Structure 1
């Protein structure tokens, strides 16, 4: 296996761990997870959840490095615009009658894993950022 394949495998593993931790956290808030890893040709929404009458689109950013103080720093204005586009597509794709949402909010959950042992869930640090704006 080449170096690039090893890096890609590690990145995928780190991402899965982070998304699982974020989903467990969202579930612990009492929110209902409606979808995970919803994809179109335009991109992917990590988590879509319902917090009462609020639809919450959650971007999960996971790192097992010290590149960012908080992994949420990797979310750009372009990423937020793409999330809005994808949320509109997700809403349009829902079965009739479409649910009515009082509010649609965009959040992020940043997950910082231990650099030496990303699988050490106890060492993971989660941070919830509510209401992302450009």
Structure 2
């Protein structure tokens, strides 16, 4: 695995921990839907299925992780959410939500982890 891949996996691990500590249950990680792409984390928040995109950046890089969800990316996440629901029993009573976890890793010190609900 290259450095970028390792950084991404580290961010996903921090995100999964954050979601779990917030009371969610992680159902899947890195779930692939054919050629359409991959969902970083699928979780359950009560009766709601949460599709979670994780973006990890090193501190000082040009783009903040929260800026990474463009309209095209949001549309792809909605498509992937539909794929998950199709393969896992349809829309639950609490519906589906798309969240973003942004992770900024500084050169020193603890990473900053932000969770934003309902981004798309």
Per the TM superposition, whether the score is higher than 0.5 is yes
Assess if the C-alpha contact under 8 Å between 2:32 and 2:39 holds in 1.
Answer: yes
Deviation string for 1:64-107 (max 9, x for gaps)?
A: 1422463110111101100010111111112x5x5723221111
User: Which sections of structure 2, spanning at least 5 residues, go unmatched?
Assistant: none
Of residues 21, 24, 39, the one that matches 1:28 is 21
- What is residue 110 of structure 2 aligned with on the other side? 123
User: Which sections of structure 1, spanning at least 5 residues, go unmatched?
Assistant: 1-7
* In 2, Cα distance between equivalents of 1:19 and 1:68: 20
- What is residue 3 of structure 1 aligned with on the other side? none
Matched positions, count: 119
* TM norm structure 1: 0.81
Distance 1:74 1:63, change over 3 A: same
Structure with max Cα Rg: 1
